[in-house]
Structure 1
């Protein structure tokens, strides 16, 4: 088995699993432990996982770095020639909550991997992070008494990884960990931050939005013959198609006047909301690429600020809806449409590592992944948000970033310039995004 790899990703995990299937208990080392059948939802199972993580965290950095780039792996649900797995459904955050009483509040992050056995079972991998010079000693924080005394945990005890098991530390090992803690603190962070994708520039946004809203009001205010109500006016036939086809039953003059007045009172809100939908659909998404040079960064908190820019939710072409750009004076009711429209809500998975918002006149993106690994590229997806320069005439924008690390008081900062994309006319963008076939 090649141990000069980072034990993340399906290929690496399958290589480890194949090794376990070949040699079983002989696979166990200071960086690899195997448990054929434990229940991660039981007290005994949680205690066994906690013991492994405590021992892995209390390794010496130079020794740990010889294999798996300093990581250590616990394989659950495998043995020689067989991988029965464990029942699916072990949620990472739930297991972390069960482990926290044993590990304490300052314990380093750890990661999870899975390989499916069948529809109901999987092999679970617990990956401990590389130990670092300057890290404190990590004692156990809670007692556990199991049926097998080898599984017991003692509050305040220090556990270390032996050649093939986790055990209480000896005096020399405790002193070595004290020296690790005196290792001068963590080394400085050298971070490369790049923007993936284009910072957009769009001209005449407000003008085009006002124009199409004026057209909506004009069409509603101008009585039309029933025979012509399904034909778009000349202005929209040239590329900006109308949403006013097939109106509901005609309103009385009084009702029409009341509805138009109510629409006018909300026009600013409608335009602001429609502008977000228009640009979210029409503009390309942006991502951020990060590489930490020769340094493991635990639980980073990276704030990237695009100065003089605006951030908006990125929407796919399938979300394009002209009536979300221009709110009709009278919206037709679909009898088959029930409840709220889910497309207007941004629903993110729990602990999603990317968040974005507007701060004053700047766009801010916050990245909170589990870690940045040495010389390994971390990149966010390009379908989260779009970045728009507020001044469409600028050729570049300034990007600054601020990084903090869990357990480290040092603040690392950076700044660079990013060229903007080609200037786009809002009318052309609207036609391309919503009426390409018109």
Structure 2
């Protein structure tokens, strides 16, 4: 394996990859190879894709290479130029800690002939490189050229059906490079390509978007809320003034004083009150969940930098895929009766217990809004402007982002930007790591129970 890494003073053999170079020539390609051997599939980005050994004579391989080239050709020039001077590289015959290669003998012109039906007659030329592994095997590199303003959109010209739908191609489809794969373009990305075609002298928008603060993960929320409701019903079913030392047998047990002492009622009144309370279970749990997580989890925010260009009245939409967004609430506003609705309704606090932090009105014209749509969380930013090379950051006490899959180590975030007086749509995506998984019972204890109180 050692001979796969650069033999000179280059540092490309470690996990860092120098993307300031043009990936042409043996020295640069060995640097790419060393990086891929070190980290494997984790090396994949918008400008680098990795394939383990493939049958270079098969239709499936031709379709995979064509899909990569189509996605690379449909990139935004400004974004592509950040790495490898705009080039994109497909490495074939490599995996983590190993470079078995593919059998020698693949000819560039033969590969081009197999790709042309998918790419079409107007597709730009691409480079082809190779590094020998032994007398019978070599690693191949397919190198896409940098995209340019004024270029047409490059659709796929031929369909291919694969057993794995991710490798299929559709005649007429427009493919783009995502954070680590090639996929069909979204509407905003198609419009951005249209703008690339007709772009004149005005420089394109080059936006850097980051998510700051946690993408939270929490487990067993419904279970904890159900346990709290069982405890509330159990306490209500006992004597009107239960002994404060009584403990329930549910998952979570609380001192009865936490939920108040109900006034004495007749048996009929108690049955009616309990039936009414049970009928609103779904509503109560939804409201309780929002309050519980809003006061218990940390807020997130977005940081934006427009490189070299003033953006007037931007409208930036961020979609956190497979996530939900909730209002961030000050921890001092934690209210147990908003987590689990008492059977007899919430108790009115004394005036001295009023907490102003519980109310956070959003002023008119506030530049951040958030909502959950279907399976995704959406955050919309509408500041007055993004100034050139000046960091703009939203407040971190607006909302909480929670991944719906508690096992997800990261979430995909896509964004689309429009500008006042400009028909162009700029889009992009990033992948954001999630926070360690939190157990809802532990969270409840830390937020609602004083030190030393048991669950």
Out of 366, 380, 393, which is 1:366 matched to?
Answer: 380
Aligned length: 253
- Given the alignment, which residue of 232, 252, 274 partners 1:216? 232
Output the CA distance in 1 between the equivalents of 2:379 and 2:349: 40
Instruction: State the SS of the aligned residue for 1:421.
Output: coil
Contact 1:307 1:363 in 2 (8 A): yes
After superposition, residues 65-144 of structure 1 pair within 5 angstroms as none
The aligned counterpart of 1:270 is 284
* In structure 1, C-alpha distance between the alignment counterparts of 2:400 and 2:260, rounded to whole Å: 34
Work out which of the residue numbers 186, 190, 197 in structure 1 matches 2:202: 186
Deviations 1:201-232 (A, max 9, x none): 001111111111111112212336x4x44335
1:300 aligns with 2:318: no
Distance 1:185 1:355, change over 3 A: farther
Q: Residues 367-411 of structure 1: CA distance to partner in whole angstroms, max 9, x if unpaired?
A: 000000111000001100000001101111000000000011110
Contact 2:227 2:252 survives alignment (8 Å): no
Q: Distance in 1 between matches of 2:255 and 2:400?
A: 25
- C-alpha displacement at 1:356, in angstroms? 0.2
Q: Give TM-score, length-normalised by structure 2.
A: 0.52
Q: Distance in 1 between matches of 2:329 and 2:312?
A: 32
Deviation, 1:330, is 1.5
CA contact (8 A) 1:240 1:431 kept: no
Give CA deviations for 1:36-71 in whole Å, capped at 9, x if unaligned: xxxxxxxxxxxxxxxxxxxxxxxxxxxxxxxxxxxx
Contact 1:305 1:362 (8 Å CA) reproduced = yes
1:313 to 327, 330, 340: 327
What is the Cα deviation at residue 243 of structure 1?
Answer: 5.3
CA distance in 2, matches of 1:238, 1:390: 23
Matched, 1:282 2:296: yes
Q: Kindly tell me: are residues 349 and 205 of structure 1, through their superposed partners in 2, closer, same or farther at Cα, counting changes over 3 Å?
A: same
Is the 8 Å Cα contact of residues 227 and 250 (structure 2) preserved in structure 1?
no
Aligned pair 1:251/2:265, yes or no? Answer: yes
Could you tell me how far apart the structure 2 residues matched to 1:335 and 1:399 are?
41
Deviation at 1:435, TM superposition (A): 1.3
Q: Deviation digits for residues 151-176 of structure 1, max 9, x if unmatched?
A: xxxxxxxxxxxxxxxxxxxxxxxxxx
Alpha-carbon distance in structure 1 between the residues aligned to 2:345 and 2:278: 14
The partner residue of 2:442 within 424, 428, 434 is: 428
Partner Cα separation in structure 1 for residue 349 and residue 294 of structure 2: 28
Closer, same or farther in 2 for the Cα pair 1:383/1:207, shift >3 Å? same
1:184 Cα deviation after fit: 3.8
Of the three residues 400, 403, 419, the one matched with 2:417 is 403
Unaligned runs of 5+ residues in structure 2 are: 1-198
For the residue of structure 2 that corresponds to 1:422, the secondary structure is: coil
- 1:308–1:391 CA contact under 8 A, matched in 2: yes
In 1, the alpha carbon distance for the partners of 2:358 and 2:277 equals: 20
Contact map agreement 1:240 1:430 (CA 8 A) in 2: no
RMSD, matched Cα: 2.6
Aligned counterpart for 2:408 among listed residues 369, 386, 394 = 394
Q: Distance in 1 between matches of 2:442 and 2:356?
A: 28
Tell whether the 8 Å contact from 1:309 to 1:363 is kept in structure 2 after alignment.
Answer: yes
Report the more deviating stretch, 215-224 or 374-383: 215-224
CA contact (8 A) 1:283 1:386 kept: yes
1-side partners of 2:251 and 2:200: how far apart?
71
CA contact (8 A) 2:333 2:355 kept: no
Shift of residue 337 of structure 1? 5.7
Counterparts of 1:231 and 1:321, CA distance in 2: 22
